[in-house]
A and B are shown apart, each in its own frame.
Chain A
């Protein structure tokens, strides 16, 4: 069953379609939320809230709109609300609590996946994740949407509700910042 028919069936009240959609998006949506909030428990809670919100609003969803962009936009709004509530001081606070030189994000993510890749590749990924975790929210989200979700810039603009030119600027700045962070953390 294709995505469009699943969405159409859910709009008609078919609960099987809801299960199919959750199964289809569970990893991507969870990864996106984890990148935004950086805490496993928060990401899990927001993951559930997102699907509850989808159940509430699916009948208002315009089928002509890109479903990915709509879904990620729903998740993002919930995550932003959550971050405003929990971290009232700043949405972009860096993750400062490090144990043994490892950031919180690196610890969280490394706990969640098995060691199936080569040591070097895993280490490199952890370094990238840690560096990404240090970026401000606005940079993290544009990076994860572009490289992990492989969204087009137009889709990213829809999710973030910003102009296309701003997406480009933000993408370039986030890559610059990422590179500087990596060079500063791992000079060798």
Chain B
């Protein structure tokens, strides 16, 4: 490649970067090279001027503004959703605490029940006799009833929110 070809290649390469230079999207060293080239090349200087005009025009485009009622509605809707989200998180924390508390009570009540009904050491031997099965069934029933009640309550609150 002779000197002239190299200059033409360099010119084409830098010319490709003129638009990015006008957009302020080049690294400082890249931009410096483009500007130096444009300073000595009338064709690139003119084109850089056009790109700068376009970039300036885009920067000065007027800003359309949302209507006041749209902004107010956005605030109201977002505030309502935020309050719902806060309530949901708070409810979830309470629910986790209650479930943990209920499990602790349940697990603690089994050995206590065995101690009362069958002796101090007998609770270590959980035979599937009628008392134990009845107690387990009662526990499951209470948990299932609680779960159904919680689900129904949550659905009711959801529908109340939708109609509000």
Contact = CB atoms under 8 A, between A and B. Distances in A.
Interface of A: 13, 15, 18-19, 22-23, 26-28, 30-31, 34, 43-44, 47-48, 50-52, 54-56, 58-59, 109, 112-113, 117, 121, 124-125, 128-129, 132, 143, 146-148, 150, 153, 168, 171-172, 175-176, 178-179, 182
Contacts of B70: 30, 44, 47-48
B75 A22 contact: yes
Contact of A171 (B23, B60, B86): B23
B161 interface: no
Interface string B48-84: 0011001101111111111100110111011101110
Nearest to B69: A44
Given A18-B75, A52-B81, A128-B57, A168 B64 contact: no
Given A15-B82, A22-B71, A51 B77 contact: yes
A47 B74 contact: yes
Contacts of A43: 66
Interface in B19-43: 19-20, 22-23, 25
A182 B83 CA distance: 48
Given A52-B77, A113-B62, A153-B25, A168 B20 contact: yes
B23 A26 contact: no
Contacts, number: 124
Instruction: Give the interface SS of chain A, mostly helix, strand, loop or mixed.
Output: helix
Interface centre among A13, A55, A113, A128 (most CB of B within 10 A): A55
Interface residues of B, number: 35
A146 B23 contact: yes
B44 to A, nearest CB: 15
B10 interface: no
A129 B51 CA distance: 16
Contacts of A31: 63-64
Contacts of B122: none
Contacts of A22: 71, 74-75, 78
